[in-house]
């Protein structure tokens, strides 16, 4: 077992093994995140060389550069990383639980449910503090998850029924959001429209601090529960005979998944297919053991959203395309590929 590194906290609490490959890939992915972030920080109306960006981040850059980087661009970059990581981990959990490669919170309508609540909150409680947005979106994601599970339940939940009903819920959520937008005052309409495609345009430090504790906390909890996800992946019978409290674990994990989705949606809207792409790439690279796959997919999710955002900003500058457009432009063909690959299942 020389290739493995064991981590253990307490005797029964949490443990996982990391393959060396996992560690190397994760470090590499982290480096790419940083590199893309630095390049992206320098891109925009005013181009700043990566070296100057680095200087600013270290606190020795020029004042002018510092203003642009720290006030205008950094919050957006941080949000891209956080949202990408949150979505990716949510997707990794979902795929582990449903044991279907096509499952992800956005395909199953969980993001859509969160959007309904977020948009409804913005429109109905115009004066309320925006810091309530993540818990509200979380509530929406949770209720949608319950609804999805309840509607798919017929002497147990089969993954296929779950996916079918999820597609229905997603379409219904889209219709409700459109309806809510119809009722909203004109000024809010543009903001609300973003929820339909997903965009991280115009975020500031407040948004960052709003979701930072949620994302970090939830990902840590997900990491601690890693071995429970691993057991779930073995299938119901095996998991039960291994002494796992199957339903309880499943419930907790779904909650975490819903919370992560809600958090991401509360600032980014419905950014599609990140939650599907990242875990798949991670599993291709290092295999399905959850602890490592989750870590790597968090980084990969961050990279995907960062890159998509960079393209969305720069490709047709000065016009900005919503980042969700690019994630689905990459994600949908990938989804079709998965569909083709799993055709005989």
Partner 1 sequence: MSSLLASNFRKILGVAFAILLLTYLSYASLIFGVIDTSWQTAIDAYTNFNGSNEHIVIKEVRVPRVLNALTVGFCLGLAGTLLQSLTRNPVADVELFGLNAGASLFVVFAVTFVGISSLTQFTWISFLGAAVAGLIVYLLGSFGRDGLSPVKLVLAGAAITALASSIRHGMMVLNEKATDEVLFWLAGSVGGRKLEYLATVFPYMIIAWIAAFVLARPIQTLLMGDDVAKGLGQRTLLVKFSVGIVIVLLSGCAVAVAGPIGFVGLVTPHLARYLVGIDTRWVLLYSGLLGSILLLLADIGARYIAMPAEVPIGVMTALIGIPFFIYVARKGLDK
Question: Cβ 247 to partner 1, closest distance in Å?
Answer: 21
Question: Cβ 167 to partner 1, closest distance in Å?
Answer: 5
Over the chain, what HEC string results?
CCCEEEEEECCCCEEEEEEHHHHHHHHHHHHHHHHHHHHHHHCCCCCCCHHHHHHHHCCCCCHHHHHHHHHHHHHHHHHHHHHHHHHHHHHHHHHHHHCCCCCCCCCCCHHHHHHHHHHHHHHHCCCCCHHHHHHHHHHHHHHHHHHHHHHHECCCECHHHHHHHHHHHHHHHHHHHHHHHHHCCHHHHHHHHHHHHCCCCCCCHHHHHHHHHHHHHHHHHHHHCHHHHHHHHCCHHHHHHCCCCHHHHHHHHHHHHHHHHHHHHHHHCCCCCHHHHHHHHHHHHHCCCHHHHHHHHHHHHHHHHHHHHHHHHHCCCCCCCCHHHHHHHHHHHHHHHHHHHCCCC
Distance (Å, whole) CA 278 – CA 33: 13
Site residues (vs partner 1, CB under 8 A): 102, 107, 151-152, 154, 160-161, 163-165, 167-172, 174-176, 178-179, 182-183, 197, 272-273, 316, 319-322, 324-326, 328-329, 331-333, 335-336, 339-340, 343-344
Question: Cβ 268 to partner 1, closest distance in Å?
Answer: 15
Question: Cβ 293 to partner 1, closest distance in Å?
Answer: 23
Question: Cβ 123 to partner 1, closest distance in Å?
Answer: 12
Judged by beta carbon, residue 112 or residue 301, the one nearer partner 1 is: 112
Question: Cβ 174 to partner 1, closest distance in Å?
Answer: 8
Non-local CB neighbours of 74 within 8 Å, separated by 6+ positions: 41
Judged by beta carbon, residue 11 or residue 343, the one nearer partner 1 is: 343
Judged by beta carbon, residue 174 or residue 288, the one nearer partner 1 is: 174
Question: Cβ 189 to partner 1, closest distance in Å?
Answer: 12
Question: Cβ 146 to partner 1, closest distance in Å?
Answer: 14
């Amino acid at each position: 077992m020389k290739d493995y590194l064991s981590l253990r906290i307490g005797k029964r609490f949490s443990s996982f093994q990391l393959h060396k490959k996992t560690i190397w890939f994760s470090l590499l992915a982290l480096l790419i995140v940083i590199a893309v972030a630095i390049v992206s920080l320098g891109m925009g109306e005013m181009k700043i060389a990566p070296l100057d960006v680095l200087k600013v981040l270290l606190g020795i850059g020029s004042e002018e550069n510092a203003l642009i980087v720290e006030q205008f661009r950094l919050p957006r970059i941080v949000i891209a990383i956080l949202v990408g990581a949150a979505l990716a981990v949510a997707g990794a959990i979902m795929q582990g639980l449903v044991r279907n490669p096509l499952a992800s919170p956005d395909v199953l309508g969980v993001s859509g449910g969160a959007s309904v609540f977020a948009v409804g909150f913005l429109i109905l409680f115009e004066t309320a503090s925006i810091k309530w947005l993540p818990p509200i979106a979380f509530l929406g994601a949770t209720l949608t998850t319950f609804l999805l599970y309840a509607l798919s339940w017929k002497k147990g939940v089969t993954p296929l029924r779950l996916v079918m009903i999820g597609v229905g819920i997603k379409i219904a959520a889209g219709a409700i959001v459109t309806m809510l937008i119809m009722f909203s005052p004109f000024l809010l309409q543009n903001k609300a429209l973003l929820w339909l495609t997903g965009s991280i345009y115009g975020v500031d430090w407040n948004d960052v601090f709003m979701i930072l504790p949620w994302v970090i906390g939830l990902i840590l909890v997900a990491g601690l529960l890693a071995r429970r996800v691993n057991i779930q992946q073995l299938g119901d019978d095996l998991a039960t005979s291994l002494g796992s409290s199957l339903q309880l674990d499943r419930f907790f994990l779904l909650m975490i998944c819903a919370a992560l989705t809600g958090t991401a949606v509360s600032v980014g809207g419905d950014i599609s297919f990140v939650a599907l792409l990242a875990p798949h790439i991670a599993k291709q690279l290092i295999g399905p053991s959850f602890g490592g796959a989750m870590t790597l997919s968090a980084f990969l999710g961050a990279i995907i959203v960062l890159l998509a955002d960079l393209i969305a900003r720069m490709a047709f500058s000065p016009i900005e395309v919503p980042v969700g457009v690019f994630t689905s432009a990459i994600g949908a063909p990938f989804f079709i590929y998965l569909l083709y690959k799993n055709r005989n299942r």
